Amino acid sequence: MKRLYVQVYLTVIVSLLIVVAAAGLMWRLAARASPAESAFQFAGEIAGAVLPAATEPAAVQKAALEKFAKALKTDLALFDTTLRPIAAAGEPLPPPKDWRESGGWMHIPRGHAWSISLDDGRWLVMRAPRHRPPVHPAIGLIGFLGAIAAGVALGAYPIVRRVTGRLERLEAGVVALGRGDLKTRVAVEGRDEIAGLAQSFNRAAERIEALVGAHKMLLANASHELRTPLARIRLGLEMLDGRPDPARQTEIARDIAELDGLIDEILLSSRLDAVETLDHAEEVDLLGLAAEEAVRYSACAVSGEPAVITGDPRLLRRLVRNLIENATRHGKPPVSVHVVRAGGSGATLTVTDQGPGVAPDEQSGMFEAFRRGAGAGSAGTGLGLALVRQIARRHGGEVAYLGRTAAGNVFTVDLPGRLAVAAAGRRP
């Protein structure tokens, strides 16, 4: 994975390498004499050969210097070993600042000059042509470093812009999601931390969209399901009209129990949608729990082996009860529950009935909320199998419908032995 900090770090390292390489090149070139310096040094060698010796009279030296200045078309000044003037040609020129120097560029009031130390100790100062003044070293250094800085800036811009551009697109996605556009997704570019953040955002957006959609569907279906028992209760109360009717009272009590159970299942389904892990877990003997639930039904048998798993006993009890209730209500007795250990510390629960089974075209949506089979009629709320799947997944497992087999109509639930708990001590 190309980490973002690696990209930034490499950009800095490459920039430093460019600066070092450019500085080394500058140093190497600076060590060599420029064309102007070479020309002045050559002129100094010629001057040493054509000028009279230091022992000659000053007039002889002046005449030779004027002839030499005319040939070079420049101003010249000749100084002795103590930097006192001997002769000059053209405009006056100052002596070198220090007689111990070996010569070089001089900054004078009206331009630049070049000082040359002759072999006999005399000094020759030559004015540089005014139309081609040399560049001050500080100005050249500033320009050189400025060019390096501009090159580094241009080289780093694509990387910086790529990073900030992806962050801007991610910010736009967050803003769109905050405005309520739950279908917002951002492009996953690269394989660094920003790409990981984009993937996390997309997963979160999908989760939010699924939760909001599930809650909308739950509310839409719940409003319809709640009206039915309420209407029957209202009708039953109107038919009583002050005359006690035990049969009618029993029917009203059954409707109230159905309404209470529906509300309980809706609340449990909403709570399970809101969390991804269990709030409470403990060791549970799945075989013993299934046996306790099976005694509530006259035609239900339990078999298998003890299987201790970690889970929420209340939710696991609801899972077993809903499967047995579904087999009893929509299948055909007898119903059998079988428990076996699986996957080391896990367990598999199998519920079988002798019903006709579920049609193939209905199997894909049988675990969705408020989905009823074609022959289910008004029995049940349509949340039983949906809750079974939610509870199984919160325990790290999965429920499956195997269809009509030789043994009967079969549902299986695979549960692991160990799972993470969000916060111990709290129950949903």
* 403 strand-pairing partners: 410
* β pairing state of 398-405 and 346-353: unpaired
* β pairing state of 300-304 and 335-342: parallel
- From the number of C-beta atoms within 10 Å of its C-beta (0-12, 13-18, 19+), residue 215 rates as middle
d(CA 382, CA 371): 5
> Do 123 and 99 touch, CB atoms closer than 8 A?
yes
At residue 303, does pLDDT exceed 90? yes
Per-residue pLDDT tens digits for 246-265 = 776 677 777 677 666 667 76
Q: Please report how many Cα atoms fall inside a 13 Å half-sphere around the Cα of residue 96, on the Cβ side.
A: 25
Q: How many CB atoms lie within 10 A of CB 128?
A: 20
Per-residue pLDDT tens digits for 322-355 = 899 889 888 888 999 999 988 777 899 999 998 8
Phi, then psi, of 339 in degrees rounded to 5? -125, 130
Contacts 24+ apart (CB under 8 A), 138-143: none
Q: For residue 68, what pLDDT band results from cuts at 50, 70 and 90?
A: confident
Name residues whose C-beta falls within 8 Å of residue 423's C-beta, 6 or more positions apart in sequence: 279
Q: For residue 209, what pLDDT band results from cuts at 50, 70 and 90?
A: confident
What per-residue confidence (pLDDT) applies to 289?
Answer: 92
At residue 428, does pLDDT exceed 50? no
> Interhelix angle for 193-240 vs 4-31, to 10°?
160
Exposure string over 336-363, b if 16+ CB within 10 A, otherwise e: bbbbebeeeebbbbbbbbbbebbeeeee
The share of the chain scoring above pLDDT 70, in percent, equals 71
| Strand arrangement of the beta sheet that strand 300-304 belongs to | 300-304, 335-342, 346-353, 408-415, 398-405
At residue 425, does pLDDT exceed 50? no
d(CA 124, CA 78): 5
List the one residue out of 149, 138, 106 whose CA is nearest residue 125: 106
| pTM for this model (two decimals) | 0.46
Helix (H) or strand (E) holding 340: strand 335-342
- From the number of C-beta atoms within 10 Å of its C-beta (0-12, 13-18, 19+), residue 108 rates as middle
Name residues whose C-beta falls within 8 Å of residue 215's C-beta, 6 or more positions apart in sequence: 270, 273
Q: For residue 81, what pLDDT band results from cuts at 50, 70 and 90?
A: confident
- Which tokens belong to 197? 């953040």
> Interhelix angle for 246-274 vs 193-240, to 10°?
170
List the one residue out of 150, 126, 149, 15 whose CA is nearest residue 74: 126
> What SS3 string covers 193-246?
HHHHHHHHHHHHHHHHHHHHHHHHHHHHHHHHHHHHHHHHHHHHHHHHCCCCCH
**Alpha-carbon distances of 380 from 208, 359, 398, rounded to whole Å:** 29, 18, 22
Per-residue pLDDT tens digits for 371-397 = 655 554 445 557 788 889 988 888 889
Per-residue pLDDT tens digits for 410-423 = 999 999 866 544 43
